[in-house]
Structure 1
C-alpha cells in the first residue's frame, strides 16, 4: 500500500438538505481539503430554490454545472476558486431529499456530461464540462444515443446507474477511440427520472487514470427479495486489491456509506472513512483516500441504488 498524497479533480464536496420549513437548503456536511478556509462561512449560508447551482439543481431536478461565483459562495473570497461546480439533486417522487455539490479543479483531464432526450427521442448532449478534453468534447456533441445504445442509452433503458472501467478498450463504450486518445479510464452513469417510467436526464462522469475526478466508484443495490446491499458494479483504479473484499461485502441498512444512504433516503458525505467504512476504511486511509460520498438513485418512490465515490 501507499500513503502518498493523492489528488483528484474533485477537491471539495458538500451535501445540502431541506430545512424544517422546506423552503431553503442548509448545509448538512462538507469535506473541503484545500478549501477548508470557507467551511465556517458555508455553515451560515442557505440556498433558496433557483439560487446558485445548488438552488437551480433543486428547482430543475437535474444536475447543473457552472463556474464558482458569489451566488454559490455568498461573497466568500476564494484565492483559488474551483474551476467548475457540479450540483447533483436527489429527488424522490418530486420531493428534494438533498443536493450534492462537487467542487472541481481543471488541472487534469476529466468530464461531466448531461444527456437529455431530444425531438428524435435520442439522448443528446445538453450540458457539459470538459477539462482539457476539447477534442473529445467536440466529438461528443455530434453523438446521439438511442435507448439501450452506449453507456447513456443503457442507463436510460435500465433506469439504473452503472460504472464502467477500462473504457478506452471496452466494446460497450461507443466513444472508446476518443477515450483512448485522451487517456480516459472510467465512466459512471446516473439516471434522473421525471416519473417512475420517464427519464429526465443521464449524468455521465468521466475520469482519467492519472488524476481522476475520484479514485473509487461503486454502485450498491439490493437483489429482489434480499435485505442486504451488495456491489453490482465498481471501479477501483490502481487499488485493485480493494476489489475482492469489497465485492464480498454485504451491508445492512445503516451500515457503511451505502447503508446510510438507504437508511436516510438522502445523500451522505463523510470525512471519517475509518469509522463509516469499517473495516475497509483502514485500507482507504492507507491509500490516502480522505472522503466518501453516497448519492441515492430514485425511480419514483423507490430507492434503487446508491452510488458511492471515494477520493
Structure 2
C-alpha cells in the first residue's frame, strides 16, 4: 500500500493540536498548522487553565466539546482564527481513568465546498443522541443527523457504543449498515471512523469522523488493537482494520500474511503505545509514502491502552 498519491487536496481539517497538562495548565505539545503561521505564532504564546478556552473546557467538563462559532465565545484566539479563516473546532480529551493525558483539538474553516463531518454523540435515556457536530457544506446531512438517534448496536455510533471499540464504515452512501446512507451519499461522504471517547464518571461519548472524497478528513485510516497481544509486561498492537480512501482495504481476507504488529517505541504507533499520548507527525520522513501528516490517538480502557486510531493526510 506504499503508493505515491496525487498532490494533496484541500482537507476538511485545517489545524490539529495536542495540549498536555503541565501543573495546573494545558500547554501546547505539538501542532500541525500548514501555512497558517500567524495562527501558530498566536497559539504558541498561550496556555489554558482548567475551564479556560476550548481545551480547558474539555478538561473541566470531562467530555469532547464542539464549538461551531468563535465570535462572542470563550475561544481565546478569535482574532487570529478569523484572520486564518478558521471558524469552528472540536476538542477531544484523552483520559486514562480519571487522569487527563492530553486534549486533541482540530480546527476547520467554512466554505461552500468543504464537506465532511465531525460529530459527538452522547448517551441519553438509553439512546445515543447528537451532542453537536460540524458539517461544513453538508447542511442537509447535518439536519438529518440532528433528527437521528441510535439504539445500542445500530449504525456507526451505536456500533461503537455497543462494542466499546473503534469501527470503520466504508461506502457510506450505499452501506446498509449506515443509517443515514441516503443523505450521506448526496453529501458525498464516503468513509466513516467511529471511536469511543472514555471519560470519568461512567458517561458514554462517541466521536465520528465522516470523510468526503473532495475535502477528506484523511486519505488513510488505521485501527490498532493492543488487547490480543498483551503478554506479561510486553506492550504491542496489531493492525486490526484500515482503509486507504483511493485504494480500498489495506488487505484482503484471503491474505496469507500475518497481522501487522508493532511493539512499544517501534515507529510512530509504537511511540503512542509507549507514552500513552496522542501524536502528530508532519513531513514525509517516517511516514507511509505519499502522506504528509499523521494523527494518532490512544483510547484507554481499565488503565491501559486498548486501541490506537490513526489517520493520514
Q: TM-score, normalised by structure 1?
A: 0.87
Matched, 1:83 2:87: yes
Structure 2 CA distance for partners of 1:299 and 1:72, relative to 1, 3 Å: farther
Which residue does 2:75 correspond to in 1? 71
Q: Partner of 2:237 in structure 1?
A: 229
The match for 1:299 is: 301
Q: 1:252 aligns with which of 260, 263, 275?
A: 263
Q: 1:273 to 1:99 in 2, by over 3 A?
A: farther
Contact 2:43/2:77 (8 A) holds in 1: yes
Distance in 2 (CA, whole Å) between partners of 1:247 and 1:44 is: 47
1:234-258, Cα deviation, whole Å (9 max, x unpaired): 2210144966899953211112322
Contact 1:112 / 1:129 at 8 angstroms: preserved in 2?
A: yes
Match of 2:54 in 1: 53
Give the drift of 1:161: 1.0
Alpha-carbon RMSD: 2.4
Write the mapping of 1:255-294 to structure 2, written as runs, cut at 5 A: 255-275=266-286, 277=287, 281=288, 283-284=289-290, 289-294=291-296
Residues 263-282 of structure 1: CA deviation (Å, up to 9, x unaligned) = 1111111114422x3xxx3x
| Deviation for aligned residue 1:194 | 4.0
Name which of structure 1's ranges 227-236 and 206-215 shifts more when overlaid on structure 2: 227-236
Query: Equivalent residue for 2:100?
Result: 96
Residues 273 and 292, structure 1, Cα contact 8 Å, conserved in 2: no
Residue of structure 2 aligned with 1:176, choices 181, 194, 197: 181
Matched residues, number: 298
The runs of 5 or more residues in structure 1 that have no matched partner are: none
Q: Unaligned 5+ residue runs, structure 2?
A: none
Report the equivalent of 2:18: 15
Pick which of 90-99 and 55-64 moved more: 55-64
Q: Distance in 2 between matches of 1:57 and 1:40?
A: 23
The residue matched to 2:285 in structure 1 has which SS? helix
Asked if the contact 2:121–2:205 (Cα under 8 Å) also holds between the matched residues in 1, the reply is yes
Change over 3 Å in CA distance of 1:136–1:75 after alignment to 2:
closer
Q: Is the 8 A contact 1:236 1:243 kept in 2?
A: no
1:83 to 1:41, Cα distance in 2 relative to 1, 3 A:
closer
TM-score by length of 2: 0.87
1:133-169 deviation line (CA, Å, top 9, x unaligned):
1211211222111111111111111111112121112
